[in-house]
Structure 1
Amino acid sequence: MGYVDTQITNQLLDAPGAAAPAVELSGVTRVYGARSAAVRALDNVDIAFAAGSWTAVMGPSGSGKSTLLHCAAGLEKVTSGRVRVAGRDITDASDAELTRLRRTVMGFVFQSFNLIGSLTAEQNVAMPLRLAGQRPPRRVVREVLASVGLADRARHRPGELSGGQQQRVAIARAMVTRPAVLFADEPTGALDTRSARTVLGLLRAMVDDGGQTIVMVTHDPAAAASADRVVFLGDGRVVDRLERPTTRQVADLLARWEE
């Protein structure tokens, strides 16, 4: 199985008639180190993620999937190429501009939850708005917590919550600003099967009901099968993809690329 033509991949992810891409990487290369020690984590990647879609990014260890997510979100600078998020070219954006965009246009959910242990669930959820200089009404924060099934846990601190509940707080925190794009890095990696299913259902609702865009890195075929499509990376390039994936299809294709 050879590499997929990047133009074909773009057409499939951002089909004619579809909304403008929420995230677009054009000719993106990311190199770590220099000279003989240089490692090309991304190699001239062209890919677009349509607005209102959910894409899972998969690949063997070292394939470049986390680097792709970090470059797409402006967490890492690209070596060459351009990155656009929600219509904005963020390639050369200043730290101040990127910070503003992360508080308004982008949301983040990570495997490690990244909650502040000394704050309650509702205080953690309100934090992005407070950092943006807003004073969120408690009613709004409580509504977001209720939407993730945690209305009765608003006053609990992270240490008083299960792993699945903590991840739901993290999702509520990402939802409260209604970001155009949610970047998720292994969001179910630390969860049991039942909690993972709940979290995936919440992400699905963000796309179907909220029209938001999700770009998610995962190693779990079941999690990937919840997405609209799966993109596979190998050696820093897009090597394959699946539309409307099933768990079996994802597992089979992943096994093929890991051979």
Structure 2
Amino acid sequence: MSTTALSRTTAAVSLEAVSKTYGTGPTAVRAVDGVDVDFAPGTWTAVMGPSGSGKSTLLNCAAGLEHVDAGRVLLGDTDITDADDEELSALRRTRIGFVFQSFNLVSSLSAAQNVELPLRLSGRRPGREQVLQALAAVGLAERADHRPRQLSGGQQQRVAIARAMVTAPEVLFADEPTGALDSTAARGVLDLMRTTVSAGQTIVMVTHDPAAAARADATVFLRDGRIVDRLAGADAATVAARLVSLEG
């Protein structure tokens, strides 16, 4: 069992002895293997590891996108381990934000309409000012009426972040948020994420990029579904060296 504690404060998200297996019999793959980890409020944690180490599965389990086979997942004081789809959908509309590498914007909707979508899905009637404030926070208020095809990759990712943040979630999960961006756009997205953390947001981010991980407060490393190390405040070269050591 792997054990990593990122803080002694009450965790924003906790995984307790979590395991997740795909398939059965001799072809079964245990993607996450007995992981214990806490993510403290107001911190930014990067998750890294070799290909197939279980990074995205860990993120999906923590965010309630996948059910675990064993262990518990807690969002603050709420045990979401056995939550049904309706309960998890409600959590994702209110307490959890998720940013995907592929943006997942609705192509037929404007930036503003994409941002207000989770509010509408949760039964709220978003005001124009609230939506514009969310876009202004990511530097895109003037692009509110543009559709995704009229935006650059970096701008689309910032719209996706605004959409994830508009409900004021307790935790923002991000799966390779800069993976499809050039270096300039990636830097802008990472700057934005640092700003949100400075304002109290909790972020858990999967990345393959040591430079992106170095922007986080700490990096946890997975291998074969287990957390094997944690570095706090490490620079990109140190993070890269540790990642290479796990790939051998």
Does residue 56 of structure 1 match 2:84? no
Shift of 1:86: 2.4
Corresponding letter in the other structure for 1:105: R
Which of 2, 7, 31 aligns to 2:21? It is 31
Which residue matches 1:147? Answer: 137
Shift of 1:143: 1.1
Which of 88, 91, 98 aligns to 1:98? It is 88
Corresponding letter in the other structure for 1:230: T
Q: Deviations over 1:153-209 (max 9, x none)?
A: 011000000000000000110111010000100000000111100100111111111
Shift of 1:227: 0.4
Distance 1:128 1:97 in 2: 15
Corresponding letter in the other structure for 1:14: S
Question: Identity of paired residues, percent?
Answer: 64
Does residue 75 of structure 1 match 2:68? no
Shift of 1:36: 1.2
The answer to whether the 8 A contact 2:73-2:80 is kept is yes
Which residue matches 1:14? Answer: 7
The answer to whether the 8 A contact 1:53-1:207 is kept is yes
Which of 178, 184, 191 aligns to 2:181? It is 191
Which residue matches 1:245? Answer: 234
Distance 2:50 2:229 in 1: 13
Does residue 180 of structure 1 match 2:170? yes
Q: Structure 2: where are the runs of 5+ without partners?
A: none
Shift of 1:6: 3.6
Does residue 235 of structure 1 match 2:224? yes
Q: Structure 1: where are the runs of 5+ without partners?
A: none
Listed as ranges, the matches of 1:86-165 within 5 Å are 86-165=76-155
Runs of 4+ in 1 over 3 A off after TM superposition: none
Corresponding letter in the other structure for 1:197: R
TM-score (norm 2): 0.98
Distance 1:160 1:86 in 2: 38
Shift of 1:49: 0.5
Does residue 215 of structure 1 match 2:213? no
Corresponding letter in the other structure for 2:230: R
Shift of 1:254: 0.6
Q: Deviations over 1:54-85 (max 9, x none)?
A: 10000000101111001111111111100001
Corresponding letter in the other structure for 2:108: S
Corresponding letter in the other structure for 2:117: M
Distance 1:71 1:239 in 2: 18
Distance 1:87 1:204 in 2: 25
Q: Deviations over 1:26-45 (max 9, x none)?
A: 01111111121111111111
Which residue matches 1:41? Answer: 31
Distance 1:203 1:75 in 2: 22
Corresponding residue SS for 1:21: coil
Corresponding letter in the other structure for 2:38: A
The answer to whether the 8 A contact 1:32-1:39 is kept is yes
TM-score (norm 1): 0.94
